[in-house]
Chain A
Amino acid sequence: MALLGDTMRTLTLCAFLCTALHAQALRVVATTHDLADLAREVAGTRIACEVLSFGDQDPHRVVAKPSTLLKLRKADALLLMGLDLEHSWLPPLLEGARNEALTAGRPGHIDLSVGIEPLEVPAQVDRSRGTDLHARGNPHYNLDPEGGRHMARRIAECLGQLAPDHKADFAAGLRAFEAKLDAKVKDWEPEWRRLKGAKFVTRHGFFPYLSKSAGFDVIADLENTPGLEPSPAHVAKVMQLMREQKPAALLVPSWKAGGLTATVAEGTGIPVLALPMGSTGRGKDATWLDWMSHVISELAAAVPETREH
């Protein structure tokens, strides 16, 4: 009986300590799984991270749930991609959550796009262009090794401001992550060589940062305005270009593999490469590094061997 009592006391103490340790962790909400994964790389168990969207769903159109309000309400920090990636769904949730710590300008509102040099910034934004999802420049910098490095650095910096006691731990986490990334970049060199100068067509502008880094060309985009269904005239023009220039593949997000994509692929004979546009926490795309490896290897595999430099 005494033994049972001791065991119970020990278990209770352990539970109490676990709860206390967990309570000390920063409560972080990340708008994408990439951000959550990088935050975990940097901060480890110093944070408890919730994810609002995954790489196999359109990050522009995340369907809000009431539980999201609760997550945002309880959070100490919000990690977001910025550059208006989340502009159609996050602002009403932030307004509803009524958590002053997460509002823009506060240390808890961590916009990862700060410090990024955005690509494809439109010279003019007005209604005549429809609902341009990339009005402040392309927000898909997560699809690039250097984009990942930037995100990790900024996460470490901003979390360090929120929890100065753990600044050194975050710096150590960042160093460890960068070491892993550097090793991966070295591993990707053969794929990088293969991709250089290759041609692709995309559906939605997910690839400008990677194409700039890897040196491949996106000769056309099926969408004439980001986020809108393309006009038939534009599709016809792109199909003609595809027939003439024979790109290695039509790169599409995994949720756009059917419908128009299939029609275009069938009409041109160009293979479709449907990929998640972020890490998903599962399988080949479990982490941001896994997903980058997956995307880079798939892209390189799509390039014909005769093209290799």
Chain B
Amino acid sequence: MAAFLRERSAASSRSLPLSNKHARVAGLAVLATTLVFSKPELGAQDLQSLEARMIAMQARYESRIAALESEVAGLRTHPPLAAEVELAATLDVTAAKWQQSGLSKAARDARSAAVQISVVADAVLTASGRRDSFETDNQFRLRSVELGFSGRLDPHAKYAFVLAAHEDAVEIEDAFADWDNGLPDTFTLRGGRMPVDFGFAAPLHDHELGFVDKPYAVQEFLGGRAVTTGLALHHWFGLGDTPVRWSLGAGNALQGDSHAIQGPLGGAHEHAALVGAEPVGERGIEDLIWTARVATTIDMAEHDTLTLGASVIHAPRERHFWFADPPTNTTVAFGDTDRTVAGMDVFWRHRNPATEGHLTIGGEWLWSRSSSVDDSTTPPVVNGTHQRADGGYVMAEYGLDTHWTVGGRWELFSHAEDRTLTTEACAVAVTWTLDEYNRLRLEAGLIDDESADDAYGFCMLQWTTVLGSHNHGLAW
């Protein structure tokens, strides 16, 4: 029995592999049949999808490998300078943060985080036939020494800080940040103490001008360099092939920051709030000033551009106070006025690459509208009517090469407070840029100022020195 069992077992063990093979073949056949006949389309789609994914993955990885190979080749052929390596090492934390922000390698480049530091000194020797010239002319004047810092705060924002020292004061000219990469498209939000985006000449520092002084019409209507503390939203876009930019801003008050030698504000460091609320009483949203600008630059030819711009500043409420004489010494609010200044600017610029020269012709016209104050009474009264005034300038500047520039400017404007009084002025300037650090300018002109009942000639010699990195960006 035992032998039979063993034999049977052996027979079984011999026959089992054969039956297993049959079973496997049968199983596979059933499975294949099921696969083939049950969902044949899905299988083909899956295969195609997998192949497409493989191809895409291959392309992706090949592209990344090629980029890395390029980077390695670049490092082999021109390795980074030792100073940059050192700087990059010190900025590891920043780099890691920038990486987290999802920005590209360029944004994480250590050089982007470097601080640009500049010093600009501006001195003027003046001579004039002005009747009241003791305080202002026929003397040497150190107009300003500016210390500027600019750079990136972080991946999303950059900053500019300009501290200016004058003969009698030190002040913060600019202290603002631009939040750019954090906003979509080409929007930029600027906040802080900043130049008002109005026209061509108003936002510029004195040393950026083609003449010694800001145009006199700009001095008269905006108080010189227009500055405010607030927020402004900037954006640019393409209208076809033409770039257009616009901005909207709100600020506490419009401050005219002027260090003019000649003109309506000439002779004194003017830093008064011309439009806006006095710091007395309750402030409301109507005490803010509002600014807007739209501008475009059209390419007329390869080296010719035409810039057109329109700007407006509106102050809905300008509070007026009257300070009573002793013994009361009280402050009396006698009324509110409003004020609007609008302007248009047109500039044609031609560059001549063959000589590295240029020709710029253009001008600005400004309109001012403000409530009238009758100060013949005590206290004065706001009489409900509006005073209108307008004026502007045209200028031409011809750069012979990178060293020599000649320019002329003619101006005419009525006075903001009394439009019956006008000022007419003209000036010619020759600028010699000795090298990248030093510039000399000789300017002569005539002013016929009805408000001062004076007409005189003047001559100025200006020396400007710029040290360090200094970038003013695009003017449009």
Contacts and interface: CB of A to CB of B under 8 A. Distances in A.
Contact of B474 (A64, A83, A100, A255): A64
Interface stretch (A19-27, A66-74, A286-294): A66-74
B243 A125 contact: no
A69 B236 contact: yes
A54 B436 contact: no
A255 B83 contact: no
A9 B66 CA distance: 46
Interface string B90-106: 00000000000001111
A301 interface: no
Given A67-B242, A118-B77, A164-B59, A255 B353 contact: yes
Contacts of B435: 228-229
Contact of A161 (B66, B81, B236, B296): B66
B70 interface: yes
A175 interface: no
Interface of B: 59, 62-63, 66-67, 70-71, 73-74, 77-78, 81, 83, 103-107, 109, 180-181, 185-186, 236, 238, 241-243, 245, 296-297, 299, 302, 305, 351, 353-356, 401, 403, 435-436, 471, 473-474, 476
A121 B302 CA distance: 34
A296 to B, nearest CB: 22
A104 B106 contact: yes
Which A-B residue pairs are the 7 nearest by beta carbons?
A105-B105, A57-B353, A103-B106, A104-B106, A103-B104, A114-B74, A66-B297
Place the interface of chain A in its size category.
35 or more
Interface in A109-135: 109, 111, 113-118, 121, 125, 131, 135
A83 B351 CA distance: 26
Contacts of A100: 103-104
Contacts of A63: 351
Contact of A135 (B81, B106, B355, B401): B81
A66 B474 contact: yes
A137 interface: yes
Contacts of A197: none
25 contacts: A61-B356, A64-B474, A65-B305, A66-B236, A66-B243, A66-B296, A66-B297, A66-B474, A67-B241, A67-B242, A67-B297, A67-B305, A74-B238, A83-B78, A94-B106, A95-B180, A103-B103, A103-B107, A116-B77, A118-B78, A161-B67, A164-B63, A254-B354, A255-B354, A258-B401
A111 B401 CA distance: 31
Given A104-B105, A105-B105, A157 B66 contact: yes
A95 B353 CA distance: 25
Given A54-B353, A98-B181, A105 B77 contact: no
B23 to A, nearest CB: 49
Nearest to A67: B299
A131 B436 contact: yes
A74 B180 CA distance: 18
Contact of A103 (B74, B105, B185, B236): B105
A66 B70 CA distance: 31
Nearest to A63: B351
Contacts of A106: 104-106
Interface of A: 54, 56-58, 61, 63-67, 69-70, 73-74, 83, 92, 94-98, 100, 103-107, 109, 111, 113-118, 121, 125, 131, 135-137, 157-158, 161, 164, 228-229, 254-255, 258-259
Contacts of B403: 259
A113 B78 contact: yes
A65 B297 contact: yes
A104 B104 contact: yes
B70 A114 contact: yes
B348 to A, nearest CB: 13
Given A57-B353, A65-B305, A70 B238 contact: yes
Given A69-B236, A73-B186, A114 B83 contact: no
Contacts of B351: 63
B53 to A, nearest CB: 15
Contacts of A54: 302, 353
Contacts of B305: 65-67
Contact of B81 (A61, A66, A103, A125): A125
Contact of B243 (A67, A98, A115, A254): A67
Contacts of B474: 64-66, 69, 96
Given A66-B476, A83-B78, A105 B104 contact: yes
A107 B299 contact: no
A228 B436 contact: yes
The residue in B59, B351, B353, B436 that gathers the most chain A C-beta atoms within 10 A of its C-beta is B353
Contact of B356 (A58, A65, A96, A98): A58
B352 to A, nearest CB: 9
Given A67-B243, A100-B104, A105-B105, A92 B236 contact: no
A70 B185 contact: no
Given A115-B70, A117-B77, A161-B62, 17 more contacts: A56-B353, A58-B353, A65-B474, A66-B243, A66-B297, A66-B305, A69-B236, A69-B243, A92-B471, A98-B185, A98-B186, A104-B105, A105-B104, A109-B106, A114-B71, A136-B78, A157-B66
A97 to B, nearest CB: 8
B256 to A, nearest CB: 28
